[in-house]
Structure 1
């Protein structure tokens, strides 16, 4: 859940650590949960488009899933933000929340039909990397609710500083929508107070249910859901109760409870460094790259984007 001009430090908390817990709780094994969670977080860290060559000098182009440069090619920026971070939702629902009753076809709403459809197709693919990518976008529909992933006055805040910031996504509100430990005010809304903890726990519960529906052999889903919700409530704590590091430790304790194993600490360079080298002649694959997590993530992200954009572009061109 991130955006240009924001502090992405907080995003790892949900997309990696909490997503991992959700996956384990739903029944994925530890290796599967790790790949899903790493993919979900890597969506925010995959900010470069590069070309990697094999020994025969055949190129492989990576796909952009996040950009912190708001002035890149506009078509590319639009596709990146709408597919991976601001999937359009039910715009009438979004309009009813606003003081000005403004409507926007691309407004993001929590757990929207499009986001859920894209997630379910990704789950059906059984591609763990694609599941992680789709999980990121699905969770972002809660964090990015009432914003659109394009330049629009619909995103504008009401203070003097906002006039200096591009009206793209939630830039006017900096990283406030992405911080799990924050209650803040969205001055565009009739009920301006936004409790991020409540939103993120709602996202966690819905993601758990989608995972559990895939793993149909699971039993006592409602009981597991209540336990997950209660555990996350306590691990996150009251607003201001825990520091970021203390909350991460709380998630580690939950991982021990669920699986007797701690969560591997996230390293955004790990998958890249395992797949290719940067040489004087450009980027070159390491041996056995076809099995590397970075390569498989890129393949999955391309498939995800192709499907997601096919659906979303119909809304864009409406």
Structure 2
């Protein structure tokens, strides 16, 4: 999923679930920031203090990163959560929507309510949770399930198709096909281009196991939004079960369906602006408000507010640590990322018969 869902839709469902504006903004920001936190390693302060960060994402088509085995620490816990279903390790590593593992992960985050970074932890975990719908059928390890051939999509013009390929392959030759991408990008859904993340897409392909996979994203994305709403409702209620939560109301689902099915620009930021406009116009029942601008880097970003670092972190001129850093969204987010990864990799997956790192 892209920023329109991870930030825009998660904000909307968080508000509809009962969170106040500031809390819903924090949850949505943390949810999207999972895709933008690409700087790992120690943050060095001028006075000698240090703060450890881990990356929760890589640039999707950074090939050196993709071939690094350590990326199981990124793709598996944050983007392609294994369902633990099947007989072989490869089968059990495949991501499935709302799996038993996914429920355990989201409930563990909800149980953190009352800690100083509980909203950040909820946002981080919601990213992983809703991605189980978008990324179903793919794995965060090298797998034949990630190989894609005979990829076709409805309502895709030749011009749109070549634009998908251009965006996906960046500097590579223009005539690269999905079969070639399957060999070049062995992790996740790289060979499927942007189709898994587009709410309206109807598409199909043949995976490396020879299985024909048919996908209709809209129903899946609507279920993901409803379950995200239930997760936030469970957090608000201090409950340990999503099934007992009401989820989105019928009218709320109807508006969201219309939004996701009609906002079909391939630019995710344009789609986010549509959500902003609908919110401001009062399209969602009971909500008429501004969506706070999401700033991933530079002035106004969580990192800049916490450290003063504008964009590049070269380690040569460290910021000055103050007690305010400990209360910053940046610190709380990165601690939430560390907590989430530990819970997934060291606790939940081994308990479900998966030891991937």
Shorter-chain TM-score: what band? Answer: 0.7 to 0.9
1:49 equivalent in structure 2: 40
Paired residues, number: 301
Question: Residue 80 of structure 2: SS of its match in structure 1?
Answer: coil
Question: Residue 51 of structure 1: SS of its match in structure 2?
Answer: strand
Question: Residue 51 of structure 2: SS of its match in structure 1?
Answer: strand
Q: 2:236 aligns with which of 199, 211, 215?
A: 215
1:8 equivalent in structure 2: none
Question: Residue 203 of structure 2: SS of its match in structure 1?
Answer: strand
CA positional deviation for 1:63:
1.1
2:207 is the counterpart of 1:181: no
Please, which moves more after superposition, 238-247 or 300-309?
A: 238-247
1:75-113: CA deviation from partner (whole Å, max 9, x where unpaired): 4200111100011115349x9xxxxxx961101100111
1:87 equivalent in structure 2: 81
108 and 44 in structure 1: CA distance in 2 versus 1, 3 angstrom threshold: same
Task: Quote the Cα distance in structure 1 between the aligned partners of 2:329 and 2:42.
Answer: 16
Task: Quote the Cα distance in structure 1 between the aligned partners of 2:41 and 2:212.
Answer: 44
Task: Quote the Cα distance in structure 1 between the aligned partners of 2:135 and 2:238.
Answer: 33
CA positional deviation for 1:277:
3.3
Contact kept in structure 1, 2:44 and 2:315, CA below 8 Å: no
CA positional deviation for 1:186:
2.7
254 and 309 in structure 1: CA distance in 2 versus 1, 3 angstrom threshold: farther
- Structure number with the higher helix fraction is 1
1:274 equivalent in structure 2: 305
CA positional deviation for 1:56:
3.1
Please, which moves more after superposition, 71-80 or 168-177?
A: 71-80
Task: Quote the Cα distance in structure 2 between the aligned partners of 1:128 and 1:223.
Answer: 19
1:121 equivalent in structure 2: 108
Q: 1:15 aligns with which of 6, 13, 33?
A: 6
Question: Residue 315 of structure 1: SS of its match in structure 2?
Answer: coil
CA positional deviation for 1:55:
4.8
1:93-146: CA deviation from partner (whole Å, max 9, x where unpaired): 9x9xxxxxx961101100111111111111110200000000000000000000
2:349 equivalent in structure 1: 312
Structure 1: segments with no counterpart, 5+ residues: 2-10, 96-101
Contact kept in structure 2, 1:134 and 1:304, CA below 8 Å: yes
2:334 equivalent in structure 1: 298
1:112 equivalent in structure 2: 99
Task: Quote the Cα distance in structure 1 between the aligned partners of 2:215 and 2:204.
Answer: 6
Question: Residue 318 of structure 2: SS of its match in structure 1?
Answer: strand
